[in-house]
């Protein structure tokens, strides 16, 4: 049953996460302008600190639900001097992200985000603008070309490999998150770089470890606090130093693969997503209604978005799907 589920869910989850994912990290609160948010209900905020005690709780999801029962499904929190609006129902979140997505597509200025994205040149953390829309169209076009050519064959091949890995457990208790994560990461490597790695390959292990470290550190309160409390940027911050070191390794990996693609004779034969993205840079359509244009740094960060959004998100979806189906065997039948 688990093998059949993995085969079914892996492809759909991967592609949906690649196409639809907008962001990573600080996703529950939705920042907005201070004056409308100040009129919303919410817990009392400490001067200068805001609702730091609320936002720093270990049981944050449960605590946000308790606040929703007290203040309603739309309420305000404050991080430092920044007002945050929290949406706490499926209906409101669906309305915000699907029906009125352009109203919620913007991103506030973030010190930490700019430090890890060449100054906000990625899709997940970049602000909504004509340049952002042009970058999104470019990436969406590259994904569509990939989908039409080799997505199915790549996912099918990797799903078979995953099936073999799962069959080796033979009824033993096991945490599947690592298997799902490495499988998803290898699919992204194949689609983006045109290279499939063996599970034990040192470069592949380095990519996977680097991505996991960035995702884990990005949720650290010691890093999140730098956006709300600028004075903390003057103090030593081991977590932020580790994040910057992981980002440096990430950028070295991505830059090396981009350079390898540029060293080829040309992009007429588009073999993977990186080829398609580099080819698009030379097209007139990249020059948009503003004076800015998509650059190689935007391409670099778009590739990073594909890895972050297509690896851990897909692995988490698969783990949850397995957990639910184990309790609903009639559905898997």
Which residues does 132 contact at the CB level (< 8 Å), separation at least 6? 105, 123, 126
Shared domain for 179 and 263, answered yes or no, is: yes
Alpha carbons 17 and 14: distance in angstroms, whole number: 5
Shared domain for 77 and 199, answered yes or no, is: no
Shared domain for 195 and 318, answered yes or no, is: yes
Alpha carbon 16 to chain centroid, angstroms? 12
Shared domain for 159 and 190, answered yes or no, is: yes
Shared domain for 178 and 56, answered yes or no, is: no
Shared domain for 43 and 12, answered yes or no, is: no
Nearest to residue 247, comparing CAs of 107, 127, 120, 117? 117
Shared domain for 68 and 182, answered yes or no, is: no
| Count of the separate structural domains present in the chain | 2
Question: Where residue 300 sits, what CATH number does that domain have?
Answer: 1.10.630.10
Q: Which of 57, 79, 104 is the last residue of a domain?
A: 104
Integer CA distances (angstroms), 71 to 27, 42, 58, 66, in order: 20, 6, 21, 9
Question: Which tokens sit at 189?
Answer: 């490597």
DSSP string, 149-170: HTHHHHHHHHHHHHHHHHHTTT
Shared domain for 236 and 92, answered yes or no, is: no
pLDDT tens per residue, range 185-244 = 999 999 999 999 998 999 999 999 999 999 999 988 899 889 888 999 999 999 999 999
Shared domain for 129 and 182, answered yes or no, is: yes
Spatial contact of 78 and 51, defined as CB atoms under 8 Å apart: yes
Spatial contact of 259 and 250, defined as CB atoms under 8 Å apart: no
Residue indicated by tokens 């580790």: 242
Alpha carbons 73 and 89: distance in angstroms, whole number: 6
Alpha carbons 298 and 118: distance in angstroms, whole number: 8
Shared domain for 168 and 290, answered yes or no, is: yes
Question: Which tokens sit at 68?
Answer: 């929703």
pLDDT of the chain, 333 residues: tens digit per residue: 444 444 444 454 444 444 444 433 333 444 444 456 667 899 998 888 888 888 878 888 899 999 999 999 999 998 877 888 889 889 999 998 888 887 887 888 889 999 999 999 999 888 888 899 999 999 999 998 888 778 888 999 999 999 888 888 877 888 889 999 999 999 999 999 999 999 899 999 999 999 999 999 998 889 988 988 899 999 999 999 999 999 999 999 999 999 999 987 665 678 899 999 998 887 755 555 556 788 999 999 999 999 998 898 889 999 999 889 888 888 877
Query: Which pTM was predicted?
Result: 0.81
Domain enclosing residue 194, as ranges: 2-22+108-332
Alpha carbons 319 and 333: distance in angstroms, whole number: 18
Q: Which of 85, 104, 123 is the last residue of a domain?
A: 104
Q: Which of 62, 84, 104 is the last residue of a domain?
A: 104
Shared domain for 119 and 10, answered yes or no, is: yes
Q: Is 302 exposed, middle or buried (0-12, 13-18, 19+ CB in 10 A)?
A: buried
Shared domain for 240 and 288, answered yes or no, is: yes
């Amino acid at each position: 049953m688990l093998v059949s589920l993995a085969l079914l869910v892996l492809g759909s989850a991967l592609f949906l996460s690649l196409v639809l994912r907008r962001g990573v990290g600080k996703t529950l609160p939705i920042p907005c302008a201070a004056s409308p948010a100040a009129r919303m209900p919410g817990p009392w905020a400490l001067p200068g600190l805001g609702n730091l005690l609320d936002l720093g709780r270990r049981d944050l999801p449960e605590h946000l639900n308790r606040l929703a029962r007290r203040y309603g499904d739309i309420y305000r929190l404050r991080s430092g001097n920044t007002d945050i609006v929290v949406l706490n129902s499926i209906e409101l979140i669906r309305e915000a992200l699907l029906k009125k997505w352009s109203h919620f597509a913007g991103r506030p200025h973030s010190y930490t985000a700019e430090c890890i994205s060449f100054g906000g040149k990625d899709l997940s953390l970049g602000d909504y603008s004509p340049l952002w829309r042009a970058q999104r169209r470019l990436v969406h076009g590259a994904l569509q070309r990939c989908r039409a050519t080799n997505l199915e064959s790549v996912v099918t091949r990797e799903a078979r490999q995953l099936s073999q890995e799962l069959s080796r457990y033979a009824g033993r208790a096991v945490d599947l998150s690592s298997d799902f994560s490495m499988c998803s990461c290898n699919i992204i490597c194949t689609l983006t770089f045109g290279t499939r790695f063996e599970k034990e390959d040192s470069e592949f292990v380095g990519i996977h470890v680097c991505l996991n470290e960035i995702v884990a550190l990005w949720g650290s309160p010691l890093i999140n606090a730098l956006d709300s409390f600028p004075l903390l940027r003057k103090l030593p911050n081991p977590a932020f130093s580790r994040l910057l070191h992981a980002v440096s390794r990430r950028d070295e990996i991505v830059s090396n693969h981009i350079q390898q693609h540029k060293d080829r004779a040309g992009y007429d034969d588009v073999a993977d997503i990186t080829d398609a993205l580099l080819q698009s840079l030379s097209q007139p359509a990249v020059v948009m209604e503003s004076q800015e244009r998509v650059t190689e740094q935007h391409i670099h960060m778009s590739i990073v978005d594909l890895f972050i959004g297509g690896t851990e998100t897909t692995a988490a979806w698969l783990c949850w799907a397995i957990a639910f189906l184990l309790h609903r065997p009639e559905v898997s039948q």
